[in-house]
């Protein structure tokens, strides 16, 4: 019985450390498109940016320093880790405050609720196992139920939180992209109007000279 509680507590500790895990590192087999990364090259140089394309042989990303598209072969890469910064499609950093403007808690609440139900079900099953072995161990049974319920809620809630964050990052990137696109289209329209005005002035000038 105590072993069951020990396992439950160990599981809760594992969930906690998982949610507070250190910087993520990637393997070349993992999908990394649109991920903000820090790349350590084989020669020791470090780069940061956003991955825009990935093939089995190479990685294409936007360098956050130069804002240029760079291509690195796998043999040139020593380590890829998740960047502490979040970059837009041009390699510019996006502040946390800007990401928060696009963030919701929908998936965190949904996943957390699902985790609560699954954890509670697992906890009740464990509790019944304890009581069936020794009916006087209701306290231990209740602890098992509580631990597994919290563990399920934390684990799945954290999954939902990460999905909400990723959705917010994508929305922030698209908002910047759409804004830049609108500016470019406005500038293009302005240039077309100036070109048209110039043509009309030249036409009037030619008519006066006749």
**∠ at Cα 95 (94, 97), nearest 5°?**
130
The more confidently predicted of residues 80 and 141 is: 80
**∠ at Cα 66 (68, 85), nearest 5°?**
100
Q: Kindly list the structural domains of the chain, giving each domain's residue range(s) and its CATH number in brackets, ordered by start.
A: 1-22+96-210 (no CATH), 24-83 (2.30.30.100)
Model confidence at 194: pLDDT above 70 = yes
Considering the entire predicted model, what is its pTM? 0.76
Residue closest to 42 by CA, chosen among 80, 77, 81: 77
Contact 36, 87 (CB under 8 A): yes
Structure confidence at residue 188 (pLDDT): 93
Beta strands in 9-45 (DSSP E): 25-26, 36-41
Structure confidence at residue 1 (pLDDT): 46
Distance separating alpha carbons of residues 22 and 38, to the nearest angstrom: 14
Q: Which of 1-15, 25-39, 139-153, 179-193 has the lowest mean pLDDT?
A: 1-15
Model confidence at 21: pLDDT above 80 = no
């Amino acid at each position: 019985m105590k072993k069951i509680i020990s396992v439950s507590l160990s599981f809760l500790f594992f969930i906690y450390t998982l949610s507070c895990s250190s910087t993520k590192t990637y393997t070349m087999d993992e999908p990394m498109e649109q991920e903000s990364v820090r790349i350590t090259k084989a020669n020791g140089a470090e780069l940061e940016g956003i991955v825009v394309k990935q093939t089995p042989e190479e990685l294409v990303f936007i360098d956050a320093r130069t804002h240029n598209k760079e291509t690195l072969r796998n043999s040139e890469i020593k380590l890829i880790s998740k960047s502490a910064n979040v970059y837009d499609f041009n390699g510019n950093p996006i502040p946390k405050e800007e990401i928060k403007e696009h963030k919701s808690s929908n998936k965190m609440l949904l996943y957390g609720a699902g985790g609560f139900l699954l954890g509670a079900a697992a906890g009740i099953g464990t509790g019944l196992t304890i009581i069936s072995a020794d009916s006087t161990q209701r306290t231990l049974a209740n602890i098992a139920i509580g631990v597994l319920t919290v563990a399920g809620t934390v684990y799945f809630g954290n999954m939902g939180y990460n999905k909400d964050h990723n959705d917010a990052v994508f929305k922030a990137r698209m908002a910047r992209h759409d804004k830049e696109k609108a500016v470019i289209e406005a500038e293009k329209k302005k240039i077309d109007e100036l070109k048209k005005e110039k043509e009309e002035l030249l036409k009037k000038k030619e008519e006066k000279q006749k």
